[in-house]
Structure 1
Amino acid sequence: MAFLKNCWYAAIWADELKTGELAARTLLDTPLVLYRDDAGRPVAMDDMCPHRLAPLRLGKLLPGGTIQCGYHGLEFDSSGQCVKNPHGNGRVPRGCQVRTYPMVEKHTLAWIWMGNGEPDEGLIPDFGYLDADSGYDVGRRDTIEMDANYRAIIDNLLDLSHAAYLHDGLLGNAETAWADIEVRQEGPYVYVRRDMQNVPPPLLRDLLFKRDGAPVNMWQTIRWSAPSAVLNDVGTYAPDSDRTRFSGQLGCHILTPVSEDSTLYFTAAARQGPLGAEADEGEDALKARIAELRRYAFKEQDDPMLKAQQENVRRHPGVAPVLLPAIDAGPVRCQRLLDEMLRDESGQ
């Protein structure tokens, strides 16, 4: 499968990349080993020693920030160059080097650039609410392994009408299936907004609002940027009140393909708005419960459906899906933009 490579993907939450430890990741069908050098900077390189192609993840990180291959002891610095051959006369053969990839820390994530183009940090999408100085109280930073293609997950996120059925009672209900929908593009971002009026609140919205089950107005705004980073802005307010008096969340849904059939799903949510009913349960308990409910929705509800859908697509390669204009305009626009970028990158 072709992946867009001249772009940034989230590789790992920054606080999970520990000093003195190696972390293994497979991204875009490429096995990698990640670590921090002696200055604390994130490093990514192919997980393969050039000598006998042994995985470097099975070696160890030495003082000074070099990796020692666990098979024959060759050592590589953070540029991927072999700096020590403990055998024979110690000469390092030409070409004894491991490919490395640029990495940048931003918005509490370590991002990786796996293409051949010049890395542009300005292309990292804005998830500033995750930053420590943002003023937001961010809940659990989670990584979920999804058994689905990342493009199917993009479609799933850009069409939140599915919440009325797949997440019935948790993120939606029958009354939230219909919504006023707006699709627009601003710079590198595509937005899909849904507004629902006078509907029963699903559980997650009720937990964040009044917890009385009374009808509410709700909005959902999904922001997509290529190739696969999504920000979800949701809010709930009383039908007879000003929309500025609301309770809601900002949530990231940052997708990094592992392979054609699997995806790393980086997600974290933060409360927003002046209203909320957290006092009687306690903020920490509420955040933990919300994190578990979000994980349940993504891994136990979305993932099985997307995996089964993917299997059907494979079994019926000649069958084109029937599109519903009211809910598919956003997903179609984003997939077309992604296709254009892939064609441009490949030169086709």
Structure 2
Amino acid sequence: MNILITGGAGFIGSALIRFIIQHTEHQVLNLDKLTYAGNLESLSIVKNNPRYHFSQTDITDQNALSTIFEDFQPDAVMHLAAETHVDRSISAAGDFIYTNILGTFQLLEASRLYWQRADKDKHSTFRFHHISTDEVFGDLNTTSNYFTENTPYAPSSPYSASKASSDHLVRAWYRTYGFPILITNCSNNYGPYHFPEKLIPLTILNALAGKPLTVYGNGKQIRDWLYVEDHVRALYMVLTRGTIGESYNIGGHNEQKNIDVVESICALLEELAPTKPNGINKYKDLITYIKDRPGHDVRYAIDASKIQNELGWIPQESFNSGLAKTVIWYIENQEWVKNIQTGEYQNWIRNHYNH
């Protein structure tokens, strides 16, 4: 099977490509614009595999997409390309509207036109898998209810609103054109190769550098944490075994308060990196509470019973085991961190990559 993956140089996308190349015999084309969060170094272990291919392409470029579909002849599309950081969406919402909504539209149209022209066998087996987020559902008001596949959408930020919009487009293409789609909505991911603006990698790296560990508001916001390698197993399972037109929620069964996540990282670092920056007695002393961000949702939690009951997926990592693996990875991969923080690797790719 030829699988076209958009956003494959990002955190989840690169984990998905590593999984597919290492555990299947499929061909993969990684289509990525290489914005600030895209890093091909995250794919170094598969870059020389003959089944892995890369194209530096913007998903809003319709002409480029048409050429790629014609040349690669995909059997499936897995769409992960997106702007994803809530804080950035608050200060620069236009980027999110452009990529997450317009980009999804262009990709849907390129995929639909390709699918309509395909021969009978490919037409009947083609799949468009749209990867989304639980943030489209908004905020849970109590500690006892959960997001299900039938929860009404109520996005709170420009980011989640743009992802909700893209979800609606994908469903409309299924209903209007009969286009064979699948949608997954996941909880907060964490793990190796995560861009250092997100809570867990940022906390790890700031602690190691002796910088403040900033926590929004009172830190009691609750998130369901999903180890990225568990997530990509689920994505592949949905692509290959999911029912066309259906959506599947993917959660880690690991609800944690933000402050508890930060404190757990500090405790792990006390054990794994006991030599601290000058002037630091305990890592947790670096915790600093700051003004809450606008529209900050209090709780996300996913009911993942549908994917468990229908496809047999359950997460393999507990939060404790996954967090320990993540902290160790960042301690041992400071060169990757340096490259992505300074932008040196991305700049080299932009200047030298021949696409």
> Higher strand proportion, which one?
1
* TM-score, normalised via structure 2 length: 0.25
Q: Which has the larger radius of gyration?
A: 1
